[in-house]
Chains A and B, each alone.
Chain A
């Protein structure tokens, strides 16, 4: 059953068929959201929000692009909206996470199970370090780099999602990488000690 057939069935009242679309696209949406928010719990919340939003707007999907492209756009917009409208909450959450008050460290850190508390702290710092650098990028660069690095999408697909040319995507990614390196370098001495010299 193709995506279009599933969508048609849902619009005709077979709500249960929406499960098929979610099973297929959940990892994609989750990864994209994670690329913007960096915390698993936040990415889970956003993924849920994206699928509810997509369901309610399903009749607006005209099939002119792939369903995944449409879904990527919703995920990106939802993620950026979340970041824009909950700055205060994010800052509060950040400090709560640092203090370890609300979350289990196992949930916070994004690496495989850490071995000791020191390792936990280092990995947390690494995650925040990268997250802050990505957040500092202009939105268009952030979109391009997240779709490239987190979703491993080719430039052609990124161009379609962002509705720009492939050349523009390449330029955005190059600028994003350059800015990211500069941003990461400015606060990197402590971080890179964990990576051995070549």
Chain B
């Protein structure tokens, strides 16, 4: 086996799918050829590192964290579900606020003391009742 053939078949060898006669030839070549031996060891090491990474497990609390984060988020482009949240709720809140203000004013007015004083024009206020002539006297004339 030459170096080119060795390189071409190295993956199959490492995956254990190389036919036995080719496997023997490749192993023999790797023992004799320093460059191919180095390539073989690089590949073994790289596969080992990848294998070790693949054994890692994701954070066990990740799902809980994501569920908490999406709790207040909307799905973009999907509005029908949120009609209440987006339109009706603000409208109802505005109406409720207006009703509360109106009610407050009404209650406030009820609690004020009844004031029957009317505004009297200044010229009438100056008139002295005692000095006025009786209406009866005027009618007799």
Which residues of A, 132-178, contact B by the 8 Å Cβ criterion?
133, 149-150, 177
A11 touches B70 (CB 8 A): no
Nearest to A178 among chain B residues (CB) is B7
Nearest to B28 among chain A residues (CB) is A198
- Is A116 engaged at the interface, CB distance under 8 Å to the other chain? no
- Given the known inter-chain contacts A11-B75, A59-B77, A150-B53, please indicate yes or no for A47 contacting B42, CB distance below 8 A: no
B66 touches A126 (CB 8 A): no
- Given the known inter-chain contacts A11-B75, A59-B78, please indicate yes or no for A30 contacting B42, CB distance below 8 A: no
| B residues near A96, Cβ cutoff 8 Å | none
A181 touches B43 (CB 8 A): yes
Chain B interface helix/strand/loop/mixed: helix
A198 touches B37 (CB 8 A): yes
Which residues of A, 21-46, contact B by the 8 Å Cβ criterion?
22-23, 26-27, 30-31, 34-35, 38, 40, 43-44
Interface string of B44-62 (1 = CB under 8 A from A): 1110111011111111001
Contact of A56 among B11, B58, B65, B74 (CB under 8 A): B74
Q: Which of A72-80, A86-94, A186-194 makes up part of the contact surface?
A: A186-194
Q: How far is the CA of A123 from the CA of B74 in the complex (A)?
A: 43
- Is A18 engaged at the interface, CB distance under 8 Å to the other chain? yes
B78 touches A58 (CB 8 A): yes
Nearest to B34 among chain A residues (CB) is A197
B76 touches A110 (CB 8 A): no
| B residues near A103, Cβ cutoff 8 Å | none
A51 touches B66 (CB 8 A): yes
Nearest to B58 among chain A residues (CB) is A30
Q: How far is the CA of A38 from the CA of B54 in the complex (A)?
A: 10
B56 touches A192 (CB 8 A): no
Interface string of B80-93 (1 = CB under 8 A from A): 01000000000000
Nearest to B70 among chain A residues (CB) is A55
A130 touches B44 (CB 8 A): no
- Is B118 engaged at the interface, CB distance under 8 Å to the other chain? no
Residues of A within 8 A of B (CB): 10-13, 15-16, 18-19, 22-23, 26-27, 30-31, 34-35, 38, 40, 43-44, 47-48, 51-52, 55-60, 110-112, 123, 126-127, 129-130, 133, 149-150, 177, 180-181, 184-185, 188, 191-192, 194-198
| 5 more A-B residue pairs beyond the given contacts A11-B81, A47-B59, A194-B45, with a C-beta to C-beta distance below 8 A | A43-B56, A44-B58, A52-B73, A55-B73, A185-B38
